[in-house]
Amino acid sequence: MMSSQRMLLPLLFLILPNLLPLVQSLTSCLNNGNYTSNSTFKANLDAVLSSLSTNVDSNGFYNASLGQNPDRVNAIVLCRGDIQLDTCRGCLQNATAELITSCPNQKQAIDWQEGCLLRYSNETFVGTLATGPTWYLWNAQNATSPDQFKQDLRTLLDNLRGQAAYGGSLRKVAAGNTTGPDFQTIFGLVQCTPDLSADNCSSCLIDAALEIPNCCDGKRGGRVLKPSCTLRFENYPFYNGTRLQELARQSEPPVLSPPGPVVDDISSPESLQFAFGTIRDATNDFSDNNKLGQGGFGTVYKGQLPNAQEIAVKRLSRNSGQGDLEFKTEVLLLAKLQHRNLVRLLGFSLQGEEKVLVYEFVQNASLDLFIFDPIKKSYLDWERRYKIIGGIARGILYLHEDSRLRIIHRDLKASNVLLDGDMNPKIADFGMARLFGHDETQGNTSRIVGTYGYMAPEYAMHGQFSVKSDVFSFGVLVLEIISGQKNNCFRNGEDVEDLLSYAWTNWREGTAANVVDPFLRSGSGSMQEMLRCLHIGLLCVQENASDRPTMASVVLMLSSFSLTLGVPSEPAFYAPSSYDSDVSLLQENNSRNYEHNSTQSNRSSKNDASISEFHPQ
């Protein structure tokens, strides 16, 4: 409905001189049929419109519906997140008057004012995403050092997007500032109608940010106005930060996963501490029957708390090298990371040298047990796998950019992706480096923690890690999900090859469909989508870390099919030179995480010059 109207409507452009507030309103009367002045629709519309400004809540949101189809009227209003309620009401009255005048008989219309938006339609649209029509406004002044400015702006908007999307069901707004080039401050505010899901809000704001080059490239200020979300940045403070903070305190805390025993207060480490006896009882004294798996940092047990809540308990296998206080502080920070695609850390327990971590229990075990299993892979058709890829990407993006901490996972792999009861992915084992007291967001390390087949070459060989080494592991994971085969024991008929080279060679030769899991090829999934994901996977496993996209770009590429993808260069060669595939398979089974000293590394990278000219597809 709304989005299809986009084609019919030319995008409208306005240039505003610096600092001039938006006095005029912007109205789109959408061509979705007309009503007559004596109709029931008109009576319903008048009643709905007159109710909006009185009923709008202190968060600036209200939706209403009245009447029966075909005369039913649905409406949504949203005031900018920082304005006072009386101003919000006045704004809505202005918007109502504007719509009645400008769209006198239209069944569907939207009006944006400086401080609010009002939308109505005969169609049901509450809870659904509408990214068009779009209006732009911009400040005619150019920013100084535009390239740096754009980069700083992007970082700011990415951060705000995460905050707004996970703001809860009452408010989805975030504002903040950052220091740009030449000590200019950049102020930004992003907002979605709170009826949207977090994902829909995020994708609306991604779309809005993508439009900045169309209007506001290198400008000091700009706005992108969409029916479901708005974005604005300026080089002066245009919002009331005090009011935003005041409202954020009143509004509900984000609820992202089912509450555990300790979620109500995670302000102090003590609130996250479980008595050791409770954990011992919950896991039947860490009995083998309760064992879920063995990871690089310890053994994981299933447990059940006295209140019947199921938990997963990781008993750390070695001394963390940290004092109890540092350990507690890190647990507290990690417990605050909450995202639907991360396994939730509920708390910890200590006794003497013994340290355990308590996580939410995730129903359906790990991804590797599905995609690599000839029978169980049938649970994961392409639609599911595509959602899993998107979820993993958003989880990593949150770790890299959207959370308050910047976390490099360092050991992303299929067995570290757990699936919940609805088969949504949740990333496990993040933040372990912090708990072991040597986390940086990039650097050189002599202690490499990772898994064969997933480690970026610069990390495996030189201990250099960064967000881009996680991107590499993500790319391997994507190729595994599409092909249904493990990177480190990939078979092409009789031949043992390297999945990355095989995927790249086929992609280059226009035979990429060969890489796709035969189970998926025979299914109803979109081959175009699979090949696009494969392409994205190949961009992530490029040998040169700086050629790999960031996770923010990956999320963008996955959500926007109109975005043209670059041409991947040859991936790092993967088969470990001194192992044949059966040996590495054995290793994988015996010890899932591989930890070694980089100076003893026996992996190699093929140093052939990459082919720079070819014609894909």
Ligand X SMILES: *[C@@H]1O[C@H](CO)[C@@H](O)[C@H](O)[C@H]1NC(C)=O
Which of 185, 267, 591, 617 touches ligand X by CB under 6 A?
185
Considering only 62-70, 303-311, 390-398, 425-433, which stretch makes contact with ligand X by CB under 6 A?
A: 62-70
Least CB distance from residue 582 to ligand X, whole Å? 27
Residue 289: phi, psi to the nearest 5?
-65, -25
Q: In angstroms, what CA-CA distances link 172 with 15, 80, 438, 492?
A: 28, 10, 35, 48
302 strand-pairing partners: 312
Q: How far apart are CA 550 and CA 554, in angstroms?
A: 6
Q: Applying CB under 6 A, does 177 fall inside the site for ligand X?
A: yes
Which of 590, 599, 607, 612 touches ligand X by CB under 6 A?
599
Cβ-contact 366, 358 below 8 angstroms? no
Residues 33, 34, 35, CA angle at the centre, nearest 5°? 130
Nearer to ligand X, 146 or 261 (CB): 146
What tokens were used for 380?
Answer: 């994961």
Q: Report the Cα–Cα distance between both ends of the chain, in Å, rounded.
A: 34
Q: How far apart are CA 270 and CA 477, in angstroms?
A: 37
The residue type of 204 is: C
Q: Sketch the per residue contact string, 358 through 387, with ligand X: x for CB under 6 A, - otherwise.
A: -----xx--------------x--------
Binding residue per annotation — 107?
no
Which of 18, 287, 591, 597 touches ligand X by CB under 6 A?
597
Least CB distance from residue 370 to ligand X, whole Å? 7
Nearer to ligand X, 127 or 277 (CB): 127
Q: How far apart are CA 363 and CA 420, in angstroms?
A: 5
Q: Applying CB under 6 A, does 63 fall inside the site for ligand X?
A: yes
- Choice among 152, 195, 402, 411 that is catalytic: 411
Least CB distance from residue 463 to ligand X, whole Å? 8
Residue 15: phi, psi to the nearest 5?
-110, 125
Q: Applying CB under 6 A, does 168 fall inside the site for ligand X?
A: no
Residue 407: phi, psi to the nearest 5?
-120, 130
Cβ-contact 176, 186 below 8 angstroms? no
Residue 346: its H or E element: strand 345-351
Which of 18, 268, 317, 444 touches ligand X by CB under 6 A?
444
Q: Applying CB under 6 A, does 464 fall inside the site for ligand X?
A: yes
Q: Applying CB under 6 A, does 70 fall inside the site for ligand X?
A: yes
Least CB distance from residue 597 to ligand X, whole Å? 3
Work out the number of other CB atoms within 10 angstroms of the CB of residue 528. 9
Work out the number of other CB atoms within 10 angstroms of the CB of residue 449. 21
Nearer to ligand X, 35 or 327 (CB): 35
Q: Applying CB under 6 A, does 184 fall inside the site for ligand X?
A: no
Q: 443 — alpha (psi -120 to 50), left (phi > 0) or beta?
A: left
Which of 16, 22, 126, 369 touches ligand X by CB under 6 A?
126
223 strand-pairing partners: 137, 232
Which 303-342 positions form the footprint of ligand X (CB under 6 A)? none
What tokens were used for 359?
Answer: 């996580």
Which 142-161 positions form the footprint of ligand X (CB under 6 A)? 142
Nearer to ligand X, 144 or 569 (CB): 144
175 strand-pairing partners: 189
Q: Sketch the per residue contact string, 399 through 428, with ligand X: x for CB under 6 A, - otherwise.
A: ----------------------x-------
User: Would you call 498 a catalytic residue per the annotation?
Assistant: no
The residue type of 52 is: L
Nearer to ligand X, 146 or 273 (CB): 146
Least CB distance from residue 80 to ligand X, whole Å? 11
What tokens were used for 549?
Answer: 């996209």
* Count of residues in contact with ligand X, rule CB under 6 A: 52
Tell me 401's DSSP state: I
Q: Applying CB under 6 A, does 32 fall inside the site for ligand X?
A: yes
Q: Applying CB under 6 A, does 94 fall inside the site for ligand X?
A: yes
State CA 293 to chain mean position distance: 27
Chain residues that interact with ligand X, rule: CB under 6 A: 32-34, 36, 38, 63-65, 69-70, 87, 90-91, 94, 105, 107, 113-115, 122-123, 126-129, 140-142, 176-177, 185, 197, 199-200, 237, 240, 242-243, 246, 363-364, 379, 421, 442-444, 446-447, 464, 597, 599-600
Positions annotated as catalytic residues are: 411
Pick out the residues of the known binding site. 314
Pick out the residues of the known binding site for ATP. 314
